[in-house]
């Protein structure tokens, strides 16, 4: 098993495309599985189409599901921070991806995205772990 930790800057974005980071980690490794983890209580990972407006649609959906107000018991940080802690129950903190010949086996329009609604932490980590097919 081989693992590497990457620093990701999200800034004020809710959806950050990390496909290139994961693809670079997998390049030249042959066949196997790549486990990708967002080791944070307030962020998750998803597969989705990017560049078509879906990022904004996801942001609106999350705002409807997890409004940023004072209804939550978990109240430290910015307004609505309790919602950030519920995100991982809806958007998994990890993905397992098939890799063949060092290339991710993603669908035509699929990208790997880090989903992060917490504006208090513009810097995140992404852990990629390689499991060889051999």
Rounded-to-integer distance, Cα 67 and Cα 70, Å: 9
Q: Which two tokens stand for residue 54?
A: 């879906």
Average pLDDT over residues 89-94: 95
Locate the domains of the chain by residue range. Answer: 2-132
What is the per-residue pLDDT across 51-75, written as a single tens digit (0 to 9) for each?
Answer: 899 999 999 999 999 998 888 887 7
Average pLDDT, the chain: 93
> Residues near 19 by Cβ (< 8 Å), separated by ≥ 6?
104, 106, 111, 112, 113
pTM for the full predicted model: 0.93
Burial class (CB in 10 A: 0-12, 13-18, 19+), 86: middle
What CATH fold (topology level) applies to the domain 2-132? Jelly Rolls (2.60.120)
């Amino acid at each position: 098993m081989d693992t590497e930790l990457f620093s990701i800057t999200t800034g004020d974005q809710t959806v950050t495309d990390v496909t290139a980071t994961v693809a670079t980690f997998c390049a030249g490794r042959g066949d196997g599985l790549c486990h990708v983890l967002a080791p944070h209580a307030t962020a998750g990972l998803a597969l989705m189409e990017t560049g078509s407006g879906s990022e904004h649609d996801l942001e609106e959906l999350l705002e409807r599901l997890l409004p940023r107000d004072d209804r939550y018991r978990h109240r430290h940080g910015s307004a609505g921070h309790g919602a950030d802690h519920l995100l991982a129950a809806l958007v998994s903190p990890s993905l397992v991806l098939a890799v063949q010949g060092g290339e991710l086996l993603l669908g035509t329009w699929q990208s790997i995205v880090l989903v992060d609604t917490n504006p208090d932490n513009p810097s995140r980590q992404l852990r990629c772990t390689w499991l060889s097919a051999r």
